[in-house]
Structure 1
Amino acid sequence: KINRHLHLSKTKHSKFNESGQLAFFYLFSFIWGASILNEEEFTTNPTLLWKNYPYSRMLFQVKFFYICQIAYWLHALPELYFQKIHKEDIPRQLCYICLYIAHISGAYMLNLQHLGLILLVPHYLVELIFHASRLFYFSDENQQKG
């Protein structure tokens, strides 16, 4: 309904939808990751990152977070086909998705989950701000024309 109200072109419509989906994902992931960091007290005491390293056990919450992150980015690959993305946008999207998969999987498999989480949470905040501002840009641009 929002897209119909805004009267966006096909290209802007697809970018608006992409930013809406990613803004929601980044908001959810940021809150979830920040709550894990808060529970583990990594933000108040960063020396806990290396205490008792290498870790023999991973908390369920951290493992579930990483599995959900990897699953989301893996699901984004076939979604490129189903969303009928323009051919010129596919390499950019593939690079974007593959970098996320590589970094998140690397942190998970190399036993650097805590460091990965500390780097991922502020990055997701920045991405959230970017996509939220992009949503406001598309909605405001249309109102200025009308």
Structure 2
Amino acid sequence: MPRWRNTSWWKDRDSLSWRFAFYLFSFFGGLSVLYHESWLWRPAMCWDNYPNQTLKPALYYWYLLELSFYISLLITLPFDVRRKDFKEQVVHHLVTITLITFSYSTNLLRIGSLVLLLHDSADYLLEACKMFNYAHQWRVCNSLFIVFSLVFFYTRLVLFPTQILYTTYYESIANSAPFFGYYLFNSLLVMLQLLHVFWSCLILRMICNFTKKGQMEKDIRSDMEESDSSEGEEAQEHPKLKNGAAQGPGVASTDGPRNRAAWQLANGHMLAT
């Protein structure tokens, strides 16, 4: 099927640049807003003088920007290319929107901003990885995927439970009794952590394909309908056939675990975090 007739092909590529731009701007913009705040480096200080904490204008506008972005993701999700983790993405966006709204209304903006910054730290790397894949820059794509995986594992599986969940569960009630918002807020954070584990398992499965099999399968999140519509595209985008024969003269071999990473991104289907 010609690429100009492949709706899924265009849907993925049209959304990459603006998502990359937003995640990049949001992460470094949020970092500039929070860099001089003491509670960025010591999450326990998020509870100092709570709830009588002053809301700075920069943090207010950054919060509104993040809220509007995730609302737009939720609205447009049914019109994007459908993945096997569609339900998980819906849950993720709903939980995120609820967390942003609830933390703003209860003045939990300090800890809420740390959650947002932590999540934005890996997302722009993922979008950049997919863009380089579509540009057929396999080495850059593979390198970015490795960096993305390391950042994702560290922020989601190390920093989030040991810094964010710890301070919200224990340090937040060190000087006060638990209240309704305490249980709701922590329940939503636990739901996020479960999604982190789910997507981490998918990434680990991809890494196993890189290192053990020496070849990449199609995206493990792609459903049958999408896979059928993009079979011809996979053969065009990657220079290797299933039997390993090159598609034309001058095409470099892609044998080996690292260079096979392009197979996993052949359709640009990656994890939504």
TM-score band, normalised by shorter chain: 0.7 to 0.9
Q: Match for residue 22 of structure 2?
A: 25
Corresponding residue to 2:40 among 40, 43, 52: 43
Q: Match for residue 264 of structure 2?
A: none
8 Å contact 1:70–1:101 — kept in the other structure?
yes
Task: For residue 133 of structure 1, report the CA deviation from its aligned partner.
Answer: 0.8
2:58 paired with 1:61 = yes
Q: Match for residue 135 of structure 2?
A: 139
Q: Match for residue 3 of structure 1?
A: none
Q: Using the aligned pairs only, state the percent identity.
A: 22
Q: Unaligned 5+ residue runs, structure 2?
A: 139-236, 240-246, 249-273
Quote the RMSD (CA, aligned, Å): 3.0
8 Å contact 1:23–1:131 — kept in the other structure?
yes
8 Å contact 2:43–2:111 — kept in the other structure?
no
Alignment CA distance shift 1:8-1:123 (3 Å): farther
Moved more, 116-125 or 103-112: 103-112
Task: For residue 104 of structure 1, report the CA deviation from its aligned partner.
Answer: 1.7
Corresponding residue to 1:85 among 58, 63, 80: 80
1:110 aligned partner, one-letter code: T
Q: Match for residue 222 of structure 2?
A: none
2:11 aligned partner, one-letter code: S
Q: SS in structure 1 opposite 2:40? A: coil
Alignment CA distance shift 1:97-1:45 (3 Å): closer
8 Å contact 1:74–1:101 — kept in the other structure?
yes
Corresponding residue to 1:126 among 122, 125, 147: 122
Of structures 1 and 2, the larger Rg is shown by 2
More helix by share: 1
Q: Unaligned 5+ residue runs, structure 1?
A: 1-5
Greater relative CO, 1 or 2 (CA 8 Å, sep 6+): 1
Rounded Cα–Cα distance in structure 2 between residues aligned with 1:44 and 1:96: 26
Question: Structure 1 stretches (4+) deviating beyond 6 angstroms?
Answer: none
Rounded Cα–Cα distance in structure 1 between residues aligned with 2:28 and 2:59: 13
1:16 aligned partner, one-letter code: R
Rounded Cα–Cα distance in structure 2 between residues aligned with 1:58 and 1:75: 25
Q: SS in structure 2 opposite 1:39? A: coil
Rounded Cα–Cα distance in structure 1 between residues aligned with 2:31 and 2:113: 9
Rounded Cα–Cα distance in structure 1 between residues aligned with 2:133 and 2:45: 41
Length-normalised TM-score, structure 2: 0.43
Corresponding residue to 2:106 among 106, 110, 113: 110
2:49 paired with 1:52 = yes
Task: For residue 8 of structure 1, report the CA deviation from its aligned partner.
Answer: 9.3
